Amino acid sequence: MKTLLALRNFAFGLATCSALLLGSMEPARAQDDGKGGAYWVSTSKDKANMRVGPGRDYRITWTYMRKGVPLKVLRVIDSWRLVEDKDGARGWILQQFLNRERAGIVTGSITGLRANKDGSGRVLWRVAPGVIGKLGECGAGWCAFDIDGRKGFIRAASVWGADKP
């Protein structure tokens, strides 16, 4: 009888300890870089591989061969980012190949890069679809845009990456 009572107390103690330990452990979660949702990044190297999963063992689906390509981060797992590009392609890129520098890619048709932030002023440059530049402050439908030192203001609706992610 004493053996049965001791065994029952041992089992109860073990179950209690297990419950406390398991209850204090949080499951691994995807982190959102502290921003609580999607955010913009750009490629930081001249070559960045997009993979089908978050790890080097996953197959490469696309290789970006240019620094500054704008991407939208949708999810974070450890040092991997699930990103989406302008064409809707999604895949995982290692964080070390990305930075938080805002960039945009011109869409639609040829558009003007203007002198003033409200879209007034003369056209400084004509910009073709596919051109990538650094995005600055946006307001009232216009964004500061820098294409390799050629600076001006572009209509936000003409740039993928200028809106909220």
Residues 90 and 121 in one domain: no
**Can you say whether residue 128 is alpha, beta or left, with left for phi > 0 and alpha for psi between -120 and 50 degrees?**
beta
> In this structure, is residue 19 part of a structural domain?
no
Residues 74 and 109 in one domain: no
Residues 124 and 156 in one domain: yes
> In this structure, is residue 146 part of a structural domain?
yes
Domain count, the chain: 2
Residues 154 and 131 in one domain: yes
CATH at 83: 2.30.30.40
> In this structure, is residue 20 part of a structural domain?
no
Using only C-alpha atoms, the chain has a radius of gyration, in whole angstroms, of 25
Residue 88's pLDDT is 98
> In this structure, is residue 71 part of a structural domain?
yes
Residues 87 and 118 in one domain: no
Residues 87 and 113 in one domain: no
Furthest C-alpha separation in the chain: 97
Residues 113 and 153 in one domain: yes
Range of the domain at 66: 39-101
26 three-class SS: coil
Residues 91 and 115 in one domain: no
Each residue's pLDDT, cut to its tens digit, for the chain (165 residues) gives 454 444 445 444 444 434 333 333 333 334 444 456 999 999 999 999 999 999 999 999 999 999 999 999 999 999 999 999 999 999 999 999 999 999 999 999 999 999 999 999 999 999 999 999 999 999 999 999 999 999 999 999 999 999 999
**Can you tell me the distance from the alpha carbon of 106 to that of 35, in angstroms, rounded to the nearest whole number?**
26
> In this structure, is residue 121 part of a structural domain?
yes
With contact defined as beta carbons under 8 Å apart, do 43 and 97 qualify?
A: yes
**Can you tell me the distance from the alpha carbon of 91 to that of 73, in angstroms, rounded to the nearest whole number?**
10
Residues 71 and 89 in one domain: yes
Contacts of 75 (CB under 8 A, 6+ apart): 30, 32, 81, 82
> In this structure, is residue 50 part of a structural domain?
yes
Q: pLDDT tens for residues 76-109? A: 999 999 999 999 999 999 999 999 999 999 999 9
Contacts of 119 (CB under 8 A, 6+ apart): 141, 142, 153, 155
Residue 163's φ and ψ, nearest 5 degrees, are: -85, 180
**Can you tell me the distance from the alpha carbon of 78 to that of 32, in angstroms, rounded to the nearest whole number?**
10
Residue 150's pLDDT is 98
> In this structure, is residue 126 part of a structural domain?
yes
Residues 93 and 45 in one domain: yes
- pTM, 2 dp: 0.77
**Can you tell me the distance from the alpha carbon of 17 to that of 106, in angstroms, rounded to the nearest whole number?**
59
- Residue ending a domain, among 51, 85, 101, is 101
